[in-house]
Amino acid sequence: MLKARTKLACKIAGVDPARFNEMVHFGKYPCAPETNPGSARVFTEDDIIALSIFAELTELTISAEKAGWMACQVLGCIREKPEVTHVSFMRGKSYGTFLPFCIDPTKRYGGLPAPMSWMTFDIAARRAHVIELLEEEASILGSE
C-alpha cells in the first residue's frame, strides 16, 4: 500500500495543509493518522480517500465538523470492508442526520424509512485516482 506525508496527502485530496492541521487541532477531523511531536503524519491510500471526501464536503459548505464525521465514517467503512466500492449516506424525513451505509446504494434497505436523499461516494474510483497520483509523485520525486 502506498503512503504519503501530510503535504502530499493534502495536495492529492485538495486540502490546504495548514487548514488541515487546524481542523485536526480543533477536533473537526478526528480520524487523522496518529503522529508524535516532531514526527511526520503518514497517510495510507484509505486515509487520503477519506481526506478527499472531507475536502469535497467542505467545498459544498457542509460544516467542517459534519464533513469530518462523514469522512471518518467512510474511512471506517473502508477499513471494515476493504472490498467496498461505494459508501452511501441516507437522509430520511424523520431524522436530521445522514446514516452511513458501507454498501452500494442500489440495494434495498428493508425496514428503513423512505430516504429523502442519498449521497454516494465511489470509493473504487477515488482509490484508483489516489493510487495514480501517488505513483506519479513517486516516479518524479522518489521516496520521501
| 43 φ, ψ (degrees, to nearest 5) | -105, 135
Exposed e or buried b per residue across 4-13, where buried means at least 16 C-beta atoms within 10 angstroms of its C-beta: bbbebbbebb
- Residue-wise pLDDT for 36-78, tens only, equals 888 889 999 999 999 999 999 999 999 999 999 999 999 999 9
Give me 98's grid cell.
445522514
Closest of 110, 134, 129, 106 to residue 118, by C-alpha = 106
**Among 1.10.357.10, 3.40.50.11890, 3.30.420.40, 1.10.1660.10, what is the CATH number of 3-80+124-141?**
1.10.1660.10
* Band of residue 90 on the pLDDT scale cut at 50, 70, 90: confident
Interatomic CA distance for residues 28 and 114, integer angstroms:
30
pLDDT of residue 104: 58
Interatomic CA distance for residues 33 and 24, integer angstroms:
10
